[in-house]
Amino acid sequence: MPDSSPSSSRPPQVGRRTLLGAAAAATAAPVVLSSASRAAAAPAPRKKPRALPGGGNLGPNVLVFDPSTPGIQARLDEVFRQQESAQFGTGRYALLFKPGTYSGLNAQLGFYTSIAGLGLSPDDTTINGDVTVDAGWFNGNATQNFWRSAENLALVPANGTNRWAVAQAAPFRRMHVRGGLNLAPSGYGWASGGYIADSRIDGQVGPYSQQQWYTRDSAIGSWLNGVWNMVFSGVEGAPAQSFPNPPYTTLASTPVSREKPFLYLQGSEYRVFLPEKRTNARGVTWGNGTPRGTSLPLTQFYVARPGVSAATLNQALEQGLHLLLTPGIYHLSEPLRINRANTVVLGLGYATLIPDGGVTAVKVADVDGVRLAGFLVDAGPVNSPTLLEIGPRGASRDHSANPTTVQDVFIRIGGAGPGKATTSMVVNSRHTIIDHTWVWRADHGDGVGWETNRADYGVVVNGDDVLATGLFVEHFNKYDVQWFGQRGRTIFFQNEKAYDAPNQAAIQNGSTKGYAAYRVGDAVTSHEGWGLGSYCYYNVDPTIVQHHGFAAPVRPDVRFHNLLVVSLGGQGQYECVINDTGSPTSGTSTVPSTVVSYP
């Protein structure tokens, strides 16, 4: 396999005619003008755009409650009725609770709904009740419970156990459950999640039917069971390493982590807290008083509303403001350009960016400490070469002291309508932390088909020293992940190959049957991964054979721990797990083939 990134990640070339024209203009003989001519020729002075204000109202789709607010349950129920089955709808909501105690609530969360407390600690905001995700809308199947979140709350569940039956793109962050947590739907139907971070669950976590799960830097009372791939890093109370039976991958700590920024109230003032970086992290950040980090007043943010132009958002960034994206859909005629170190772009309620005309949605310069968090990028109908770029091609600066973080930033191609992108996410900056992403070429919804929502590559990592914690990438036409940077690390990877490949020829990769889900470039000399899984479900042509899920150069410092591949119901097969190693999947039996250590 040739070791090259897709050409789409390279910067556009400058046209030869443009360069020649510029050179001719620079060397042309000067023309002497009279004073009158000079006056006539002088351009009118450009007016500087009026400075944009920071702060402001959070808009109609951010619902803020305090313990004295009347009718909270009715309002929660109203939002849920609207969002329960609106998988590809346009509604977006953030439900925010001021510090205090609330009793008798059951906040059921549908699509594009986030619930969060507004204290500095989860224990500042206590709900005597539940924050519930179930799957009644889909006949008890939780595998499509995407795009919803819970953050920064303490829960005292009504019956002792809170139900959180989610799939991808549904983070459970900075939560304190004073009881147990059930990750399965009522009836224990299918489930395919999920992600917990910086949370404390006093009782037992019961995944039951969950196929895979990643828990990071948390504390749990106990963990009940595992299906295929349960991964823990920095989790107090985690089960011992035992993959593949039970399928637990357990790391004592997370090498580097920095928790997601969050909105909170200081008195009556909104601020955004920026947790500090931790190395060899373990347990929650908020257990002993005030969390470590810094905060920014909302007046330093441009509070964006749907309908604002990309030019205005870029003006705010150039002016030195951060961005707070309130819930809704934003069409971009040009990329958001983040050129200033330590810039924060924080979305509420699954704020969604749609690049129009084939532009890239977000481009980040090779600078320190950018924090991207809490938004969705939805590809537009005109092919974008890339959707999200972290650093320009060739970025090489050392960001180890203050990395860029990409957290709960989700990418979708198709599903809500036609969308195309050659490469979804390109990471060029060194030391970037990708902490929980779901990069998804849609397998259902509108605008879905092998060529209709064409997307060849999911994530391409060119930068050195990049860490991914919670990497979900699915259904791309070619490689889902390609990793060309040195010293990359991934803790937890979940993948499904594209369901809709029409035949074997459509996925043939030279002499290799199929494109690996996760490929490490031939020139890489150091790489490591823990708890990686790839599944196939070739439902258009079940005779398709995928040679392997993982591909990597055979070198002593390119190491993998606890790999698996699964054929779902025999719809397609894997011949090996990684390179030419590992047993083939076994016919119609949905049983993983595993490799505990490679090489």
Any idea of the CA torsion for 434, 438, 440, 446, to the nearest 10 degrees? -140
* Amino acid occupying residue 256: V
Return the bridge partners of 233, or none: 216, 251
> Which three-class secondary structure state does DSSP give residue 450?
coil
Alpha-helical runs (H) found in 9-71: 16-27, 35-41
151, 389, 474, 496: the active-site residue: 496
> For residues 11 and 394, what is the distance between their CA atoms, to the nearest angstrom?
10
Element (H, E) at 83: helix 72-83
Tell me which residue of 175, 158, 70, 156 sits closest to 114, measured CA to CA: 175
Buried-exposed string 155-180: b where 16+ CB fall within 10 A, e elsewhere: bbbbeebbbbbbbbbbbbbbbbbbbb
Cβ pair 382, 420 in contact under 8 A: yes
Query: What residues does 532 pair with on adjacent strands?
Result: 493, 563
Tokens linked to 166: 């989610």
pLDDT at 160: 98
Tokens 């930033």 identify what position?
409
* CA count, 13 A, side-chain hemisphere, 276: 9
Contact 344, 261 (CB under 8 A): yes
The per-residue pLDDT for range 95-123, each reduced to its tens digit, is: 999 999 999 999 999 999 999 999 999 99
Rounded CA-CA distance 289/402 in Å is 24
Weakest-pLDDT range from 287-291, 404-408, 436-440, 450-454:
287-291
Residue 44: what pLDDT?
A: 61
Does the pLDDT at position 416 exceed 50? yes
> What's the pLDDT tens digit per position in 442-480?
999 999 999 999 999 999 999 999 999 999 999 999 999
Q: Taking 70 as the threshold, does the pLDDT of residue 11 lie above it?
A: no
Rg (C-alpha) for the chain, rounded Å, is: 24
- Residue 487, classified by CB atoms within 10 Å of its CB into exposed (0-12), middle (13-18) or buried (19+), is middle
Q: What would the mean pLDDT of 33-50 be, rounded to a whole number?
A: 53
599/593 Cα distance (integer angstroms): 16
Q: Which residue has 């994530």 as its token pair?
A: 459
580 in Cβ contact with 548 (< 8 Å): yes
38 beta partners: none
Token code pair at residue 468? 């991914």
User: What per-residue confidence (pLDDT) applies to 46?
Assistant: 64
The answer to whether 78 is a known catalytic residue is no
In degrees rounded to 5, what are phi and psi of residue 52?
-80, 145
- Please give the Cα distance from 101 to 67 (Å, whole number): 6
Tokens in use for 519? 């490929």
Question: Do the Cβ atoms of 147 and 111 come closer than 8 Å?
Answer: yes
- Whether 23 shows a pLDDT value over 70: the answer reads no
Structure tokens belonging to residue 571:
């719809």
Candidate from 4-13, 240-249, 406-415, 513-522 with smallest mean pLDDT: 4-13
Task: Give the whole-angstrom CA distance, residue 221 versus residue 204.
Answer: 5
Q: What percent of the chain has pLDDT over 90?
A: 90
For residue 542, the one-letter residue type is: P
Provide the whole-model pTM: 0.92
Q: Is the pLDDT assigned to residue 390 strictly greater than 60? A: yes
Distance CA 524, CA 464 (A): 10
Mean pLDDT of 308-319: 98
pLDDT tier at 43, thresholds 50, 70, 90: low
DSSP, residue by residue, 170-214 = --EES-EESSEEE-S-TT---B---EEES-EEEEEEE-TTBSEEE
